Amino acid sequence: MTTRDLIVVGGGPAGVMTGLLFARAGCTVSVLEKHADFFRDFRGDTVHPSTMEILSQLGWLEDFLKRPHHRLDHAELRIAGRDWTIGDLSHLDTPAPFIAMMPQWEFLDFLRTKAAAFPGFALEMGAAVADFLEEDGRVSGVRLADGSERRARLVIAADGRSSLVRQKDMLPLEVLGAPMDVFWFRVPKTAPGSALRGSVERGRLLVMIDRGDYWQCAFLIPKGKAADLLAGGIGPIRAAIAEAAPELDLADLDDVADLKLLSVSLDRLTAWQRPGLLAIGDAAHAMSPIGGVGINLAIQDAVAAANLLAGPLAAGARIDPLLHKVEERRLLPTRLVQSAQKTAQDRVIGRLLEPGPPLDHAPWLIRLLDKAPLLRRIPGRMIGLGIRREKVESPAAQPA
């Protein structure tokens, strides 16, 4: 049986980017994706400036922006019957100072096309991984659901918050908790505009993402209440949404089947690696949807892993002693972002979802951001570029 340099479990953004960068460095790589295609709704579609910096460093940003997408460069919030502008990305010193709203299947197909230029890259669709193989105390490969086996010198788990690493208790997990879940849905767009919008009221929070000809909407609900709300039918839910955003055309939102439930998680592994195995992306740290930063943190993990491991792996070096460096590099930004998300969840979202009197004014910080355009650049920078941006430093053994 052929032993590859690397097996990546999971063909999402982190997995395909990881496979691409390692193959670019001269490694032989198999990316294993359990689904037969990339077409799934309401996956993370926000490609932030930090990710587009990576594509620019690889020389691919222009090609990426030819793919269908919509651009957002500011954020608005409706509180107490008034719209407030709270974030601005347009002044970021970066090749693409905006969020590119691109269907995830377009992004993944773009990465797959670029990865195909490297002879060591292989992507297997419909290849569900059922278990890890272990020999002499280290992970040595995977066993697929069909019983076949794949062996590699290193396995990277990039298979999301339902990762096999978590299911098998391969690595310890710390749960931070979340007070809300989310109903995702889409409605036609009837008026021009280009922004990320939020509507906030006591007991009701709605986020609207401009997707060109439609709004992709997130309706936040108290944790664990989805079943009760769905049992009541679409009527009360649609009425609450209409109250939050009267301008929305909800004529097509006529069945609970139109709602896609996201069970929100906020957690992280307290160790990301063991001999032969490394976890990155949502497999290592499940993020709240606040800020839409999950994909972009995962891409940063992939770049860091390639920077630290791809060269030594291609050169035949022992890789286990190096795995901890990826965790050490990426743990700080993960902790800081999750800390900010937890603060927002516990002190703002969780309290707003509780019953209480209507809001009659916006918090002072919202009012300040609305009045001071320069200050709006701060949240724009935090969301757009994040903390500890990675730069592609892994070797390029073959030209793309």
Residue 235 sits in the same domain as residue 334: no
The domain total for the chain is 2
User: Whose CA is closest to 88, among 78, 99, 74?
Assistant: 74
Residue 270 sits in the same domain as residue 318: yes
- For range 358-373, the mean pLDDT: 86
Domain boundary among 262, 289, 316: 262
Asked whether residue 396 is domain-assigned, the answer is no
Residue 358 is predicted with a pLDDT of 81
210-214, 293-297, 314-318, 348-352: range with highest mean pLDDT:
314-318
User: Which tokens hold the place of 124?
Assistant: 């297997």
Sign of the Cα torsion 170, 175, 179, 185 reads: negative
Query: What is the residue range of 255's domain?
Result: 180-222+224-262
Asked whether residue 400 is domain-assigned, the answer is no
193, pLDDT greater than 80: no
Domain boundary among 235, 262, 289: 262
CA distance 209 to 217: 6
User: Which tokens hold the place of 2?
Assistant: 């052929």
Task: Report the percent of the chain where pLDDT is more than 90.
Answer: 66
Residue 199 is predicted with a pLDDT of 87
| Tens-digit pLDDT profile for residues 111-169 | 999 999 999 999 999 999 999 999 999 999 999 999 999 999 999 999 999 999 999 99
- For range 218-227, the mean pLDDT: 92
CA distance 95 to 169: 41
Confidence of residue 313 (pLDDT cuts 50, 70, 90): very high
Burial annotation 104-138 (CB, 10 A radius, 16+ → b, else e): bebbbbbbbebbeebebbbbeeebebeebbeeeee
- For range 288-292, the mean pLDDT: 85
Chain centre to alpha carbon of residue 387: 15
Residue 108 sits in the same domain as residue 196: no
Confidence of residue 98 (pLDDT cuts 50, 70, 90): very high
Range from 44-48, 230-234, 268-272, 333-337 carrying the lowest mean pLDDT: 44-48
CA distance 24 to 114: 10
Q: Which helix (H) or strand (E) holds 261?
A: strand 260-262
Residue 301 sits in the same domain as residue 210: no
Asked whether residue 83 is domain-assigned, the answer is yes
Domain boundary among 238, 262, 286: 262
Task: Report the percent of the chain where pLDDT is more than 70.
Answer: 96
Residue 64 sits in the same domain as residue 103: yes
| Tens-digit pLDDT profile for residues 237-254 | 999 999 888 888 898 898
Quote the strand ranges of 102-249, DSSP E. 121-125, 129-135, 138-144, 149-157, 173-175, 180-188, 196-201, 204-210, 214-222
Contact 9, 129 (CB under 8 A): yes
Residue 163 sits in the same domain as residue 200: no
Burial bucket for residue 68 (CB in 10 Å: 0-12, 13-18, 19+): exposed
CA distance 242 to 162: 33
Residue 94 is predicted with a pLDDT of 95
- For range 65-77, the mean pLDDT: 90
Residue 78 is predicted with a pLDDT of 85
Residue 9 sits in the same domain as residue 153: yes
Residue 71 sits in the same domain as residue 199: no
Residue 80 is predicted with a pLDDT of 79
CA distance 302 to 209: 26
- For range 259-264, the mean pLDDT: 91
- Nearby residues of 77 by Cβ (< 8 Å), 6 or more positions away: 83, 84, 86, 197, 198, 199, 200, 362, 366
332, pLDDT greater than 50: yes
Confidence of residue 44 (pLDDT cuts 50, 70, 90): low
Q: Identify the CATH number of the domain in which residue 198 sits.
A: 3.30.70
399, pLDDT greater than 60: no
Residue 48 sits in the same domain as residue 101: yes
Asked whether residue 398 is domain-assigned, the answer is no
Q: How far is CA 104 from CA 69, 108, 110, in A?
A: 10, 6, 10
CA distance 179 to 346: 7
- For range 338-349, the mean pLDDT: 90
42, pLDDT greater than 70: no
CA distance 339 to 317: 36
Residue 400 is predicted with a pLDDT of 44
User: Whose CA is closest to 97, among 67, 74, 63, 66?
Assistant: 74
Residue 306 sits in the same domain as residue 258: no
Residue 184 sits in the same domain as residue 171: no
User: Whose CA is closest to 159, among 365, 11, 5?
Assistant: 11
Q: Identify the CATH number of the domain in which residue 124 sits.
A: 3.50.50.60
Average model confidence (pLDDT) across the chain: 91
User: DSSP secondary-structure letter at 288?
Assistant: P
Sheet holding 46-47, edge to edge: 46-47, 99-101, 70-72
Residue 83 is predicted with a pLDDT of 85
Residue 40 is predicted with a pLDDT of 66
